[in-house]
Chains A and B, each alone.
Chain A
Amino acid sequence: MKQDRARKPRIGLFVTCVVDLMRPSVGFAAVKLLENAGCTVEVPEQTCCGQPTYNSGDRATTRSIAERTITEFRGYDYVVAPSGSCAAMIKAHYPELFADDPNWLPRANELAARTFELTSFLVDVLGVTRVDATFDGAVTYHDSCSGLRELGVRSQPRKLLASVEGLTLVEMEESDVCCGFGGTFAVKYSEISGAIVEAKAKHVVAAGAPTLLAGDLGCLLNMAGKLSRDGEPVRVRHVAEILAGMTDDPPIGVAKEAQRTGKEAAR
C-alpha cells in the first residue's frame, strides 16, 4: 500500500441511490474491500448524486442536491462510490455545475479531487494489487460508459479480478459499448434502449461465461433484466461482490428461495 501513514484513511462511502435502494449488498461489499485495504469507512447521510435531474436539464434542483452532497461529505480523506457513473457526476460534473458560482466552485472542485470510483480508488490511489477472494468459474465484464470514458476505469477492475482465486475472465465483444441503460433513457426511449440491450445481451451470451460483472448497478439491472426476460441463465453481479468474496446473496434478479433450491437457472 502506498498509503502507509499512521492514521488510516477515512472514507466517506457514497453508496449511490441505486445501491442503497436496490442492492445494499454491493455497499457492504465496498465497505469490506475498503476496510481490508486499511481504510475506515463511514456512511454520512445521503440521497442521490443528482444525475437524473442533471441529465434531464433541471440544473436548479441538481445544484441543491449537489450542495447537500458537498456539505455532507466535507472532511473525509476520500469519497468512494461503487459506481463510475455517480463518481463521474461528482468528479466531472459538479465543477461544471458550479462553474459560474465563485462561492461553491472551490468546494465542488475540492470534493471532486478526493472522489473516486471504487476499483480505481483501490488500484490507483491505494495501490492495491490483489484481493483476498475466491470465485469458481468464468466471468465476463462490461465496461460501463461513464466510468470508462469519464474516469478511465478499464484496467483496474480487471487487475483486481485477475487476483481472485479460481476466476477466469472471458472478454466479450464490444465490452466498451453502451448497454442502453442511460438512466431515464431506458424508460423514455424504452424501445431503443431495448434494442441496444438486446445487442449487449447477445455479446454476453456469446462470451459463454456463466457470470456477468460490471461496476455500475444501473447497467447491471438493465442487463440482468434483459437476460432474465430472454430466459438466459447468466448470473449477474456487481464486481465488488466478487472482489469482496461476498456471493451469499443471490445474483441480481434471482430470488433467495430460487437460489436455495438451485432453481435460479430454470427461469
Chain B
Amino acid sequence: MSVHSTSPDFKKNAARALGDAQLQKALGNVKQGFIDKREKATQKLPEFEALRDSARDIKNHTLQHLDLYLEAYEQKVRASGGHVHFARHAEEARDIILSICKEAGARTVTKGKSMIAEEIGINEHLETHGITPVETDLGEYIIQLRHEMPSHIIAPAVHLNATQVEQDFRRVHTHLDAKRDLSEPVQLLTEARGVLRERFLAADVGITGANFLVAETGTSVIVTNEGNGDLTQILPKTHIVLASIEKLVPTLEDVSQILRVLARSATGQEISVYTTFSTGPRHLGDSDGPENYHVVLLDNGRSAMLGTSFEEMLRCIRCGACMNHCPVYHAVGGHAYGWVYPGPMGAVLTPTLIGIDQAGHLPNASTFCGRCESVCPVKIPLPKLMRHWREREFERHLTPATVRSGLGLWGFFAKRPALYRLATGIAIRAMGFAGRRKGRFQWLPLAGGWTRNRDLPAPQGETFQARWRREHKRRAA
C-alpha cells in the first residue's frame, strides 16, 4: 500500500458527499456529459459491439501469454536504446524513479496524467527528496494545487467547479496581476498554459503513463486531449514511462483496434486529440525526443491476479465508462471510494491492491444494476467480480455480523419450505394487520435502514402460497 486510503470510512465519506451541494451539482455534469456523448458516438459506429469483442479478445490473449509479451517488449525497448525496470511493488517503483531522477540531477519533474503515479504516490516521494513534481494535465494540475486525489480516472477534477479553480489559481499564482479577469473557463485554461509552459522548459525529467505498451515494437502509447503528454516526454532530457504490466498488447494493429473503442467509451470522441507513440530515446536524425528513455513496469499485485477470477479485471483500459454510468458513483462521487480508483472498476481493483479488509465496502456498495458491464469496452463482468469479493469476505468471516446472522436466518427458512410457510404466514399476517390502516410503515423495528429514507409498503396480509392452496382446496372440493 502506498497512498493513504480512507476506504474503510466509505460510509462516512459517502454521507459527507451526499450532503455536499456543490459536489452534487458537479456530479450532475458527469451524468449528462459523458453518457449522452458515449451513446451518440457508439450509435454512429455499427461495428462497435464487434469491436468490443475484439478488444476483449486482444486483451485476453495478451494476458494468457503475458510473460512472453513482456519479454518481447523488454527486448525491443533495449534494442531501441531504452531501459526497462521491473518493479514488484509501489515502493520499488518509487525508488527506481527517484534514482533515475537523481542520476539526471533533476530538480523539476513534469508529469503527464498517470493513474499508476497516483497508485504509487510518486509525487510525495519526490517532494520528500527535494524534487518538485509538476502535473501538466489541467485537471491533475488543479488537484495537485489542492492536495487532493483525482475523483475520476479520466477527469481528475470533475468534482470541482470553475469558481473553485479560480480561487485556487489566485491563491497559488501570486506572481500574476491580482486584478486579472478569470471569469471565463478559457481564461483559466490560458493562465494554466502560461504557468505550465515555463515549467515544461525547466523540467529535467518527464514522467508519463502509458495507455498501451506494444510488444512488437517496444513502443509506448499515450492518448491525451491537451497535448501536455507530448511536451512532457519530448522537452526534458529524460523520459520515464510508468506503466503497469497489463498495459501490454502484442502489435500496433491491436492498438489501433482498441483505440476505436477507447475514446468513444471515455468521452464520446472518435479518437482523442493526441495519440502519441514513443519508441526509445532520440535517434540520429530525430528532430526531438529525450536523450534517455526509461520504462518502469509495475506489478503491484497484478501478476497474482493472473489465473484467478480477477484476471478479467486486467483487461481494463481505464476509459472511465463504468463510473460514468454508475448510479452509486453519481450519488457519492469518486473521493468517497477512499483510494486511487473509484467507481465499479475501483470496487473490483482496489481490494486487490490494498486488501479486502481495507476496501470491503467498495464491492458491497453496489446494486448490481449491471450498467457498468453493459458499457465496458472490454466487457469486464464487473458485478460478477464484485460478487467474488463478497464471497471471499464471507469465507473469511469479514461480512458484518448483523448481515451474516440476518442472512443466516433467511437461508435457514429458504432451505426449509414447510417452516418457511409457517413462519412467513404468521409474520405476514401480523404485518398486514399492523399496516392495514395506512397501507405502509414509516418506521418498523429492525427496518430502520429502509424506513430512514422511504416508507415500507405493508404486505397484503396473506401469503400467495397460503391463499393459492386455500382457493385450490375450495376449487377441488
Interface residues of A, Cβ cutoff 8 Å to B: 15, 17, 19-25, 27-28, 43, 45-48, 50, 52-59, 61, 64-65, 68, 96, 145-146, 149-150, 176-178, 180-197, 199, 221-222, 224-226, 228-229, 249-250, 252-258, 264
Contacts and interface: CB of A to CB of B under 8 A. Distances in A.
Contacts of A181: 367
Interface string B367-396: 111110110000000001001011111110
Q: Of residues A146, A183, A190, which shows the largest number of chain B Cβ atoms within 10 Å of its Cβ?
A: A190
6 contacts: A22-B428, A53-B410, A177-B327, A182-B369, A255-B435, A256-B436
B454 A226 contact: yes
B453 A48 contact: no
Nearest to A150: B370
Contacts of B370: 145-146, 149-150
A68 B437 contact: no
A20 B327 CA distance: 29
B455 A20 contact: no
Contacts, number: 223
B460 interface: yes
Contacts of B328: 189, 192, 196
B154 interface: no
A23 B367 contact: no
B254 interface: no
B364 interface: yes
B417 A47 contact: yes
B436 A255 contact: yes
Contacts of B389: 57
* The 5 residue pairs across chains A and B that have the minimum distance between CB atoms: A182-B367, A194-B453, A57-B390, A255-B439, A225-B454
Contact of A196 (B327, B390, B435): B327
Contact of A197 (B330, B453, B467): B453
Given A21-B463, A185-B367, A57 B450 contact: no
A109 B437 CA distance: 45
Given A21-B424, A55-B368, A178 B327 contact: yes
B439 A180 contact: no
A189 to B, nearest CB: 5
Contacts of B11: 189, 191
Interface in B432-477: 435-440, 442, 447-460, 462-465, 467-468
B274 interface: no
Contact of A24 (B393, B407, B464): B464
B415 A64 contact: yes
B170 to A, nearest CB: 33
Given A20-B424, A181-B367, A195-B18, A56 B453 contact: no
B331 interface: yes
Given A24-B460, A46-B417, A189 B368 contact: no
A188 B331 contact: no
Secondary structure of the B contact surface, majority rule: helix
A182 B460 contact: no
Contact of A189 (B365, B440, B467): B365
A3 B298 CA distance: 59
A65 to B, nearest CB: 5
Contact of A48 (B393, B410, B460): B410
B414 interface: yes
Given A20-B463, A24-B462, A56-B390, A196 B367 contact: yes
Contacts of A229: 442, 453-455
B140 to A, nearest CB: 28
B454 A197 contact: yes
Nearest to A230: B454
Given A57-B387, A189-B11, A195-B18, 17 more contacts: A15-B465, A22-B460, A48-B410, A53-B411, A55-B390, A56-B390, A58-B407, A68-B417, A180-B327, A192-B14, A193-B453, A196-B328, A199-B331, A224-B457, A228-B440, A255-B436, A255-B437
A41 to B, nearest CB: 10
Contact of A52 (B407, B428, B442, B450): B407
B415 A190 contact: no
Contacts of A58: 391, 394, 407, 411
Contacts of A258: 438-439
A225 B455 contact: yes
Contacts of B407: 52-53, 56, 58, 61, 184
B193 to A, nearest CB: 37
Given A43-B468, A58-B411, A149-B369, A221 B417 contact: no
A226 B369 CA distance: 19
B411 A225 contact: no
Contacts of A145: 367-371
Contact of A225 (B394, B456, B460): B456
A228 B390 CA distance: 33
A191 B411 contact: no
A228 B420 CA distance: 30
Nearest to B454: A225
Q: Of residues A23, A55, A150, A176, which shows the largest number of chain B Cβ atoms within 10 Å of its Cβ?
A: A55
A54 B407 CA distance: 10
B452 A190 contact: yes
Contact of A255 (B327, B453, B458): B458
Interface in B189-221: none
Contacts of A21: 424, 428, 459, 463-464
Given A20-B465, A46-B417, A255-B438, A56 B459 contact: no
Contacts of B420: 47
Contacts of A46: 417, 465
B414 A48 contact: yes
Contacts of B417: 45-47, 68
B403 A188 contact: yes
A197 to B, nearest CB: 6
A196 B328 CA distance: 7
A222 to B, nearest CB: 7
B366 interface: yes
B317 interface: no
B145 interface: no
Contact of B449 (A47, A186, A228, A250): A186
Contacts of A56: 390, 394, 399, 403, 407
